[in-house]
Amino acid sequence: MRRVGFSSGAIAYGDFMGALATLRERRFPCLELSALRISELEPLIEALPHMDLSDYSFISLHAPSSFTEYEEAWVADKLFSGVPEQWPIVIHPDAIFDFTRWTRFGRRLAIENMDRRKPIGRTAHELSVIYEKLPDASLCFDVGHARQCDASMTEAFLILSRFREKLIEVHISEVNSASQHDPISHGAKIAFQQIASMIPEWIPVIIESRVTSAQIVIEASRAIDALAPARVA
Which residues form the interface with other proteins (CB under 8 A)?
116-117, 123, 125, 149-158, 161, 177, 194-195, 231-233
CA distances (Å), 85 to each of 52, 78, 102, 120, 172, in order?
17, 12, 14, 27, 24
For other proteins, the closer CB: 124 or 140: 124
Question: C-beta of 153: minimal distance to other proteins in Å?
Answer: 6
How much helix, strand and coil, in percent to the nearest 5, is found in the chain?
45, 15, 40
For other proteins, the closer CB: 62 or 189: 189
Question: C-beta of 233: minimal distance to other proteins in Å?
Answer: 5
Question: C-beta of 200: minimal distance to other proteins in Å?
Answer: 16
CA distance 159 to 166: 10
Question: C-beta of 142: minimal distance to other proteins in Å?
Answer: 17
- Smallest CA-to-CA distance from 158 within 187, 133, 195, 193 is with 195
* Burial tier of 45 (Cβ tally within 10 Å: 0-12, 13-18, 19+): middle
Kindly state the DSSP code that residue 19 receives in the 8-state scheme: H
The interaxial angle of helices 16-24 and 38-47, nearest 10 deg, is 50
For other proteins, the closer CB: 151 or 218: 151
Question: C-beta of 134: minimal distance to other proteins in Å?
Answer: 22
Question: C-beta of 149: minimal distance to other proteins in Å?
Answer: 7
CA distances (Å), 55 to each of 4, 52, 134, 188, in order?
13, 8, 32, 30
For other proteins, the closer CB: 130 or 156: 156
For other proteins, the closer CB: 107 or 125: 125
For other proteins, the closer CB: 122 or 181: 122
CA distance 14 to 42: 12
Are residues 87 and 59 in contact, defined by beta-carbon separation less than 8 angstroms? yes
For other proteins, the closer CB: 155 or 219: 155
Question: C-beta of 209: minimal distance to other proteins in Å?
Answer: 22
Beta-carbon contacts of 212 under 8 Å, excluding residues fewer than 6 positions away, are: none
